[in-house]
A = this chain, B = another copy of it.
Amino acid sequence: MYALALAPGQAYLLIDRKNVRLMPDTRTQILDLAENAIRLRGYHAVSFRDLADEMGIKSASIHYHFRHKEDLGLAVVDRYADRIATQVGAPDAQDWPRSLALFCQVYRDALRKNQLQCLCGMLAAESAGLPDKVATRVSEFFRGNIAWLTAAMPPDMPDKPGLALRIQCQLQGAMTVAVSLKDLSVMDRAAQQICASAAD
């Protein structure tokens, strides 16, 4: 079996007689599992041991990649924020309805993809009990979203920051309620209503 690094921190191309498979490297695998676990159960309910067991390695090996739990938490949040930023791209003030629809879509996908709420929704709820740095990154994520929405609005719009904040809150709340009620359509309906009310 041969393993070939494609890009640092990304993946190995694993080659054996039967398969040619793209396998995430260990660090990426840890981040993936940690993100899922946090989004499902919350920061405090995630343990190095559980993650390690799921991967078939020892918890000490996770500490090799992320010295402290806080480091893992920060890495998960940063990667998540980057991913969302990539997905929404640069705000386009030329076409506000389209930008808004895209924003809502990204939020909906986050929930729909694996029935898990947005990472920062979970961490925001927990924020008073998180390590300071992690809580700060989470609030920066929200501030970034609000700034993006504001920048995507046409110049003549009144009370842009107020509307941006409202949209952020609505999507966030819909996600939380959808998860609790186990009814993901709550999220879809919220997104639809937000887009519709922005069209006038």
- Which A residues form the contact surface with B (CB < 8 A)? 40-42, 44-45, 116-117, 120-129, 135, 138-139, 142-143, 162, 165-166, 168-177, 179-182, 186, 189-190, 193
Residue from B121, B135, B189 within 8 A of A176 (CB atoms): B121
Contact A142 B40 (CB under 8 A): no
If A42-B42, A45-B44 touch, does A117 touch B125 (CB 8 Å cutoff)?
yes
Which residues of chain B are near A173, meaning CB under 8 Å?
168-176
Contact B172 A177 (CB under 8 A): yes
Residue from B128, B176, B181, B189 within 8 A of A125 (CB atoms): B176
Residue from B42, B44, B190 within 8 A of A169 (CB atoms): B190
Distance, CA A180 to CA B146, complexed state (A):
13
Which residues of chain B are near A168, meaning CB under 8 Å?
173, 177
Residue from B45, B129, B189 within 8 A of A129 (CB atoms): B45
Which residues of chain B are near A117, meaning CB under 8 Å?
125
If A44-B45, A170-B170 touch, does A127 touch B165 (CB 8 Å cutoff)?
no
Residue from B42, B124, B182 within 8 A of A180 (CB atoms): B124
Q: A123-B180, A143-B181 are in contact. List 20 more A-B contacts (CB 8 A).
A: A40-B128, A42-B42, A44-B44, A45-B126, A45-B129, A117-B125, A121-B125, A121-B176, A124-B180, A125-B176, A125-B179, A135-B180, A139-B180, A139-B182, A162-B189, A165-B177, A165-B186, A166-B170, A169-B176, A169-B190
Which residues of chain B are near A41, meaning CB under 8 Å?
44, 126, 128-129
If A44-B45, A171-B173, A186-B165 touch, does A179 touch B128 (CB 8 Å cutoff)?
yes
Contact A179 B124 (CB under 8 A): yes
Contact A180 B138 (CB under 8 A): yes
A-B contact pairs, 26 of them (CB 8 A): A45-B129, A116-B128, A121-B176, A122-B125, A122-B126, A123-B180, A125-B126, A125-B176, A126-B126, A127-B179, A127-B180, A135-B180, A139-B182, A142-B180, A142-B181, A165-B189, A166-B189, A168-B173, A169-B176, A169-B186, A169-B190, A170-B170, A171-B173, A172-B173, A172-B176, A173-B174
